């Protein structure tokens, strides 16, 4: 058992014995370390002003990821390297990213600049990125600038980020790897006492035992949702259990029949495998949050929280995904669609937690499509999320699976529309009419700040029509604004 967290900062190991369960990395930097270069903007992981870089060993390779420090809990950087804007200068010289930002006028008021610099620092250290404006804009989609304008920032990235890394972090990479190996251990972490603690078990058995004793504890994987409970809802979470140190729980394994992923696999680590299941899943993955959110947020967490507007559940439901759950005394699997019972209620027993999921690949005679509709293209919550899987034989639909998010209290299927499509011909749109009508009885959508009930229903019907048109052979490019992955696949 260890009662401290340890991480690497500016080449030195930091060890902390006093860590509050809800203390964020940003709180630590600004209030305790008094390093105020990292700014607080939105406090919910949307603006990127608070971006820092977190370095970890991934398959023995030192990898830097951008992270929103305002919603990243301090305990979650145990065993990692924390890099902030203060760490970038070397012997009084600007980092190449900082130099390019200054010379190409990438900063005006300067408030957002540290966050941009840190996001670009991670791009600077990313390998295999082709130099393009598209690559840059996708990388900084989670960083908001209100006054400078993005052109000079993108220009600075193009100038500095696509050559081999040649900075102090690259020069001392071997030393950093050794120190990170030194920090790694297999001890459980427990800081606090019975009424209030932050813990991080090293094994599933340890997690099961701790959660059985403390079923009122909050389980955290990426904190991209729980972090907002703290910063926006001002919730007091006296007991927090972080899953990030359990070996193998972040696995992503591809098999001929599908993809098995652990509960702490992030969106980023799962993206390539999901894209290989379907280009549509790859496009969906790119629009889940930002680079910062995808580097921390987990697919398992998106499911476990049971949000009615979660992006992944509708797509995973129609693919027939199964969920793995475990407790101290038992483990079980169930279809993902059966996990969501009602708003805020899931089929999860006291002391039970999600350990992983299995996503099947569509069969050769199945056609899968999914679409996300939101007010902003990047970094926005769905107004309507639709997913469709059609089993086809001789141009006739023999089975249909349809699921929507944002249309009900839970992500749920459309049984009436599914039944009405059986026997429908992809060559005769008139045979689709019954399903379009049935969809109106399958859901009773609500109106909220993201969309009205009428809009949601009309959009759902339009998405069903789009999926059927694409299944019938209409080119995706005629029906979508952005289809690069689809075009590449076809």
Query: Distance of CA 108 to CAs 78, 104, 112, 149, 374, Å?
Result: 35, 11, 9, 9, 30
**pLDDT of 488:** 41
CATH number belonging to the domain at 366-489, selected among 3.30.420.40, 3.20.20.140, 3.30.9.10, 3.30.390.50: 3.30.390.50
**pLDDT of 486:** 47
Contact (CB, 8 A) for 400 and 426:
no
pLDDT in tens, the chain (490 residues): 999 999 999 999 999 999 999 999 999 999 999 999 999 999 999 999 999 999 999 989 999 999 999 999 999 999 999 999 999 988 889 999 999 999 999 999 999 999 999 999 999 999 889 999 999 999 999 999 989 999 999 999 999 999 999 999 999 999 999 999 999 999 999 999 989 999 999 999 999 999 999 999 999 999 999 999 999 999 999 999 999 999 999 999 999 999 999 999 999 999 999 999 999 999 999 999 999 999 999 999 999 988 777 899 999 999 999 999 999 999 999 999 999 999 888 999 999 999 999 999 999 999 999 999 998 888 788 899 999 999 999 999 999 999 999 998 899 999 999 999 999 999 999 999 999 999 999 999 989 888 999 999 999 999 999 999 999 999 888 888 776 554 444 4
User: From CA 50, how far away is CA 142, in angstroms rounded?
Assistant: 11
Q: What is the residue whose two structure tokens read 């100038």?
A: 159
User: From CA 395, how far away is CA 278, in angstroms rounded?
Assistant: 21
Contact (CB, 8 A) for 352 and 327:
yes
End-to-end alpha carbon distance in the chain: 53
Q: Which tokens in the block code for residue 141?
A: 């989609």
293 φ/ψ angles, rounded to the nearest 5 degrees:
-65, -45
Residues forming CATH 1.10.150.120 domain(s) in the chain:
96-166
Angle 329-333-334 from CA coordinates, rounded to 5°: 130
**pLDDT of 146:** 87
**pLDDT of 483:** 64
Answer whether CATH 1.10.150.120 is correct for domain 96-166: yes
**pLDDT of 489:** 43
Residues forming CATH 3.30.43.10 domain(s) in the chain:
189-242
Q: What is the DSSP string of 257-287?
A: TEEEEETT-BHHHHHHHHHHH-HHHHHHHHT
Give this prediction's pTM. 0.93
Residues forming CATH 3.30.390.50 domain(s) in the chain:
366-489
CATH of domain 252-360: 3.30.465.10
Residues forming CATH 3.30.465.10 domain(s) in the chain:
252-360
Q: Residue 446, SS3? A: coil
**pLDDT of 128:** 86
Q: Which tokens in the block code for residue 421?
A: 């499509």
Answer whether CATH 3.90.700.10 is correct for domain 189-242: no
């Amino acid at each position: 058992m260890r009662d401290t967290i340890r991480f690497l900062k500016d080449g030195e190991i930091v060890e902390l014995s006093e860590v509050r369960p809800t203390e964020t990395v940003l709180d630590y930097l600004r209030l305790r370390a008094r390093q105020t270069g990292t700014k607080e903007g939105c406090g919910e992981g949307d603006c990127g002003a608070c971006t820092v870089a977190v370095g970890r060993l991934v398959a023995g390779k030192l990898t830097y990821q951008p992270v929103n420090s305002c919603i990243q809990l301090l305990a979650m950087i145990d065993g990692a390297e924390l890099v902030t804007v203060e760490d970038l200068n070397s012997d009084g010289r600007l980092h190449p990213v900082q130099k390019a930002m200054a010379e190409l006028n990438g900063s005006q008021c300067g408030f957002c600049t540290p966050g941009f610099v840190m996001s670009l620092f991670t791009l600077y250290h990313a390998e295999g990125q082709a130099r393009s404006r598209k690559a840059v804009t996708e990388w900084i989609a989670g960083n908001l600038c209100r006054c400078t304008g993005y052109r000079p920032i993108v220009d600075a990235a193009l100038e500095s980020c696509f050559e081999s890394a040649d900075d102090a972090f690259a020069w001392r990479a071997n030393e950093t790897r050794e120190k990170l190996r030194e920090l790694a251990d297999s001890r459980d972490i427990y800081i606090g006492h019975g009424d209030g603690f932050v813990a991080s078990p090293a094994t599933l058995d340890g997690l099961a035992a701790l959660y059985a004793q403390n079923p009122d504890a909050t389980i955290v994987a990426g904190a991209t949702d729980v972090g907002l409970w703290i910063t926006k809802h001002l919730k007091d979470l006296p007991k927090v259990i972080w899953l990030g140190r359990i070996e193998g729980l972040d696995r992503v394994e591809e098999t001929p029949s599908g993809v098995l992923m652990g509960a702490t696999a992030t969106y980023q680590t799962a993206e390539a495998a999901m894209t290989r299941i379907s280009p549509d899943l790859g496009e969906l993955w790119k629009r889940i949050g930002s680079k910062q959110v995808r580097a921390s947020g987990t697919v398992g967490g998106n499911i476990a929280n049971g949000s009615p507007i979660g992006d992944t559940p509708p797509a995973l439901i129609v693919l027939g995904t199964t969920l793995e759950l475990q407790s101290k005394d038992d483990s079980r699997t169930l279809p993902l669609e059966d996990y969501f019972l009602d708003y805020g209620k899931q089929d999860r027993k006291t002391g039970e937690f999600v350990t992983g999921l299995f996503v099947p690949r569509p069969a050769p005679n199945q056609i899968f499509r999914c679409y996300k509709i939101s007010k902003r293209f990047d970094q926005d919550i769905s107004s309507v999320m639709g997913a469709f899987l059609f089993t086809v034989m001789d141009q006739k639909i023999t089975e249909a699976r349809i699921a929507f998010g944002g249309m009900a209290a839970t992500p749920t299927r459309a049984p009436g529309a599914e039944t009405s499509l059986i026997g429908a011909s992809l060559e005769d749109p008139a045979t689709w009419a019954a399903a379009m009508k049935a969809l109106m009885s399958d859901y009773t959508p609500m109106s909220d700040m993201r969309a009205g009930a009428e809009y949601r229903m009309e959009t759902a019907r339009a998405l069903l029509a789009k999926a059927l048109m694409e299944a019938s052979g209409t080119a995706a490019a005629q029906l979508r604004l952005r289809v690069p992955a689809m075009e590449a696949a076809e």
